[in-house]
Amino acid sequence: VLRGIRGEADCALERPVAEGLRALYGVETLFLPADPATAFVSSSMAREVMAFGRPPDGLVPGEILQEVAQAFAHQGYQSGRG
């Protein structure tokens, strides 16, 4: 299993999962550290931005921006809350 981690908080959450996978199934987990320039980005942040009707430019790769926006819209979120 390959897991991306942004910092110490992610590591603290992911390590017990990795240990469980190893103990239960013999599956190893590799951690890939995030680029420091984007380590602050989270899916929660992108959803929050879109919930306020703004495009998540800079939070979502341009190559998948349209697909993310469509998936967000299909989940029934309303833009422009407030």
- Across the chain, mean pLDDT equals 88
Q: Which of 29, 22, 38 is nearest to 3 (CA)?
A: 29
With H, G, I as helix, E, B as strand and everything else as coil, classify residue 15.
helix
pTM: 0.63
Give per-residue pLDDT as tens, 48-74.
999 998 988 889 888 999 898 888 887
Q: Residue 47 and residue 73: Cα distance in Å, rounded?
A: 11
Evaluate whether 33 touches 5 at the Cβ level (below 8 Å).
Answer: yes
CA–CA–CA angle 61, 65, 70 (5° rounding): 150
Q: Residue 21 and residue 5: Cα distance in Å, rounded?
A: 17
